[in-house]
Amino acid sequence: MQSSQGSESGYKNSLEKVKNWILLSKISSYGFSGINNLVEKVGSPDEIISAPLEKIKHVSKIEKGTIKLIRKKALEVSLEDDYRLIQKHNVKLIKYTDPSYPDSLKNISDPPFLIYLRGELKKEDEKAVALVGTRRATAYGKIAAKKLARELARAGLTIVSGMARGIDTCAHEGALEEGGRTIAVLGCGVDIVYPPENNSLMKEIIGHGAVISEFSLGTKPFARNFPRRNRIISGLSRGVIVVEAPLKSGALITADFALEQGKEVFAVPGIITSPYSKGTNRLLKEGAKVVEDAADVLEEIGVSFSDIKISSFDNQLSFEEKIVLDELTAKPSHIDELIKKTGLPVGKIADILIKLQLKGMVKELPGKFFIKEV
């Protein structure tokens, strides 16, 4: 029987083979913007770190100076913590040159040269769509995201998102609830749960899909990381669906990357009075395709849906009725609170509440308070 010491030694020896790839991923996360370009020109991280400088061709004098700086930085970096975390979290490393590296990412500009992976990427993930949106999602946006994620997962598509609060979380949850696959692309190391409340969700994603990042282990979720990770979200996908987004939103950056990559861009029509729909409605004005259900997406990306049954929330309820009902409980809610939570205008809310009362699902109390009766 092999001793634990021998096993650990063997594990470290296997990681030594990717040592230079890990080194570059750590250095790039500290701001070396041209490393991907160098890897492409020079051939591999091993040559950047180890090859005699005079033998490195196809690079300029300035780039050779950058290589010298990279080598100097590499000498200052210890990988002991990285090796420990890789083993602790069962992290797999996928190099750009590996057969298992996703073809979809090879076809984008600036592809990550190293992917940190928890979980598993499968062949079926080639049929993937991204579903993204604001962290400050309304009830309307959350329901729309889950609805679409469920339908698309039922059609056999993998749902890609960023595991952020709001729409991203609902996208992952919807896919998992349907028993589908989902991939979370992080703007931090795959050993870090961000946001922290998604700890259980992250475990589920690892068990039914993958959590990936190009950032080295231990990298914190700095704001500058997220625009960069968005190109991977779109890169893995056949199309990007923006569910709900204000005018300044990372989801719109993902949509821009999708356009650059020649991917389809979709948007869910939003409530015109909501600031969280300004971005999606602008996308529609600019030519994004309208999405009301999964069929709208499947038609455009070439996936057959003839035998896929698109679900509705409930045969008794309209979309907006479901939004209002989901905000009600046995505890009384004032109509003003419902307006704020749903983003629906007062006239629409009043009309919906009357319909729900007629269906026996809602009861009105004195003072414009309402409770759910189902």
Whether residue 106 is contained in a domain is answered as: no
Per-residue pLDDT of the chain (374 residues; tens, 9 = 90+): 344 454 555 556 677 789 999 999 988 755 555 788 888 888 889 999 988 888 888 888 888 888 898 899 888 888 999 999 999 999 999 999 999 999 999 989 889 999 999 999 999 999 999 999 999 998 889 989 998 999 999 899 999 999 999 999 999 999 999 999 999 999 999 999 999 999 999 999 999 999 999 999 999 999 999 999 999 999 999 999 999 999 999 999 999 999 999 999 999 999 888 899 999 999 999 999 999 888 899 988 877 654 444 444 344 677 888 888 888 888 899 999 999 888 888 999 998 998 888 777 898 999 999 998 75
Residue 108 lies in a domain: no
Closest C-alpha among 61, 60, 59, 39 to residue 49: 39
Q: Which two tokens stand for residue 83?
A: 């090796």
Identify whether residues 324 and 288 lie together within a single domain: no
Residues of the chain above pLDDT 90, percent: 59
Whether residue 152 is found in the same domain as residue 258 = yes
Residues 152, 261 within the same domain: yes
Residue 185, helix vs strand vs coil = strand
- How many CA atoms are closer than 13 Å to the CA of 136, on its beta-carbon side? 13
Backbone angles phi, psi at 130, to 5 degrees: -95, 140
Q: Are residues 182 and 37 in the same domain?
A: no
Residue 275 and residue 236 share a domain = yes
Residue 203 lies in a domain: yes
Q: Say if 110 falls within a structural domain.
A: no
Question: Residue 162 sits in a domain of what CATH number?
Answer: 3.40.50.450
Q: Is the peptide bond before 332 cis (omega within 30 degrees of 0)?
A: no
How many domains does the chain divide into? 3
Beginning with the edge strand found earlier in the chain, give each strand of the sheet holding 239-242 in spatial order.
Answer: 92-95, 114-119, 209-213, 182-185, 158-161, 128-132, 239-242, 264-267, 289-290
Give residue 252's Cα distance to chain centre. Answer: 13
Question: Where do runs of H (alpha helix) occur along the chain?
Answer: 4-16, 19-28, 35-42, 45-50, 61-75, 80-88, 103-106, 139-154, 167-177, 199-207, 225-235, 250-260, 278-285, 294-301, 319-327, 335-342, 346-358
Q: Is residue 38 domain-shared with residue 170, that is, in the same domain?
A: no
For 80, the domain range is 4-88
- Rounded to whole angstroms, the maximal C-alpha distance in the chain is 84
- The CA distance from 322 to 314, in Å, is 8
Are both 72 and 151 inside the same structural domain? Answer: no
Residue 133 sits in the same domain as residue 213: yes
CATH code assigned at 324 = 1.10.10.10
Dihedral angle computed from the Cα positions of residues 97, 90, 240 and 194, in that order, rounded to the nearest 10 degrees: -130
Do 251 and 331 have their domain in common?
Answer: no
**Alpha-carbon distances, residue 207 vs 24, 111, 204, 222, 240 (angstroms):** 29, 26, 5, 26, 24
Whether residue 291 is found in the same domain as residue 347: no
Residue 309, domain member (yes or no): no
CB atoms near residue 232 (< 10 Å) = 29
First-last CA distance in the chain: 61
* Shared-domain flag, residues 81 and 125: no
Would you say the pTM of this structure is higher than 0.95?
no
Q: Tell whether 41 and 155 lie within a shared domain.
A: no
Q: How many CB atoms lie within 10 A of CB 336?
A: 11
**CB-CB contact of 211 with 240 (8 Å):** no
